[in-house]
Chain A
Amino acid sequence: MVTLDEVLGSGLLQKPSGDAPEALQRQITNYKPLHTFKLEKTRPYQQQYADIYFLRLTKIRPAVEAAASAAWEGTVLGGEKVKRVERVLDVRQGELCWVAGTVYMDMPLKPSILEDVSKDRWISAPTSVGHYYSGNGEDSVMLEDDSGRIRLVGNALQNHFMVTGCIVAVMGTENANGEFEVIDLLFAELPPQPERWSLSKGKKEADSSEDVEMMDASFSGHPRKPSSKKIALVSGLEFSNADTSYAMELNLLLEYLLGEALDPSIQRDELSHITRLIIAGNSISTTAAEQAKPAAAFDTTTVTNKFQPQNKKYGYDSSSYNPVPSQLLDSFLSELLPTMPVTLLPGALDPANASYPQQPIHPAMFPQSRTYMPPPKAGAGKDRDVPGEEEPGWFDNVTNPWEGEIEGWRVLGTGGQNLDDVFKYVESEDRLGMMEAMCRWRCVAPTAPDTLWSYPFQEDEPFVIKECPHLFFVGCQPEFGTKVIHGPDGQAVRLIAVPSFSETREVVLVDTETLDVERVKIVAE
């Protein structure tokens, strides 16, 4: 416990000493974004969505089958040997076998386009229901592949998260009702993990800039690890002019990141070590009136819903456009950019496209911060598709989800829509568990395109995680959480659920050497 007398008269609580301290240097980290989720500008939308499932199955099936045969080959249950069947429809009644396919969850609460059309219910704004999971037995799990689908039952299903789009291998037998009783269930598990520094020609030598600074200030009590470079993760800044309850905290956040706040010792030890800021979504929020609170107002069973804003034309109300939020974000960024590089992921509320994968927010939204971005390429739009070797901009606006390499660590991050959607399918509240499940399913957005709007990929499905990241963060979550998970081949992934700043006023700091996590909470009383 600290008393007032202790702190007075020390540090900055004294007369100005008259000497102008010199500016500290901020360090830099190695940064290389990957363009895995960039889409072409002229992409067509004529294709069917079914190809996505096919691509996903083709990519993950070999891994799942390898794991399954390793686990189940030669198993004998009740005198019968387990056999592998090629297709879902080849399952015969009474025969013990295993098969791999895609899971499909049939839930009556899921928004279904067929229902909307058949009941002639055209709703211009997307409805958002809180939970698809009804828990009353109406939901059913099915296994599907190119040949057909079969319903899965069994207690073994309760132990695992299941959502539409994850690839599994199940072992069991078909019972009299034509349903497949599941005895055991397997996923593809974590994909192979690349080495650190696999992409950037790395600074393999130990950073000489790693300061081993221990406390020197008079009253800094707590022991701290040697400070190395840190990355700041924040999400849900939600600049708006309607809701100002956290405006002071936003200012404090800016000062904290800029390094203007706090003592010189803290500035030297901690703040100058923050080398990059990653904003994981929801930087701009709509005005409070239009903000659709999930599971609150929308009533899917009736046609009209009470909270529908007036004057909706083309699905949005143009008279309520307010430029102030993006201006606030722009001035925040332009203050911060001279000293710190920023990576900006769009989120559900940001002005980017609504379907997954969200493309980068256009530089036109940031008139002041635009100077820190690379200039538009001289060629026509097609040049943009080529992820050239040019340096990423100081202010890097990237896709959501996003993959990149920072200081040698492979990082995968999303703005939160994928996790929120998976959350609606399952009963549990364990978001970290769901993140872990997504890694083990090897799919970042398994529910796309079922309930998560997505682009109809034709040749390649980028949501499949080919190489296991070292760090997986998801933004705009209701609260902070972190965990390290391990894979069968020794992979280790640090999962971070980044809380929404507007709710919790927290920033997450990740150490770039050890991938340890700290959180800083900002309070203005």
Chain B
Amino acid sequence: MAVCIAVIAKENYPLYIRNVPTQNELKFHYTVHTSLDVVEEKISAVGKSLADQRELYLGLLYPTEDYKVYGYVTNSKVKFVIVVDSSNTSLRDNEIRSMFRKLHNSFTDVMCNPFHNPGDQIQSKAFDGIVSGMMMQTG
């Protein structure tokens, strides 16, 4: 489904990045990093209209030639970014949304771990499993 899933801390450093074609890691890093600009833009836009605070899903951040980048921001300003192959047309907005929700839940579990130091890289098998599940389905 997704080709790259990233969790980025409030201070915009990566907490977690996984991508499926592992050989092109650098490219995904650049893509995700660049998408943060759009995320910030969207957050600041949301800030103006307070009514819409509840919506954490940011939608499609920007399309590139090969990929579509989706964003999601938690209330604590932790960002989730999912990169999806452009050729994958079967994915609809709702499914992306549910992926983010799942990711968010798992992330919350990670944060609830009393041994996790907030701000550290995420090293959780459960989280890994969830992420792998989201990436696996493309086969």
Query: Do A and B come together as binding partners?
Result: no
Write the residues of chain B forming the contact surface with A, with a CB cutoff of 8 angstroms: none
Write the residues of chain A forming the contact surface with B, with a CB cutoff of 8 angstroms: none
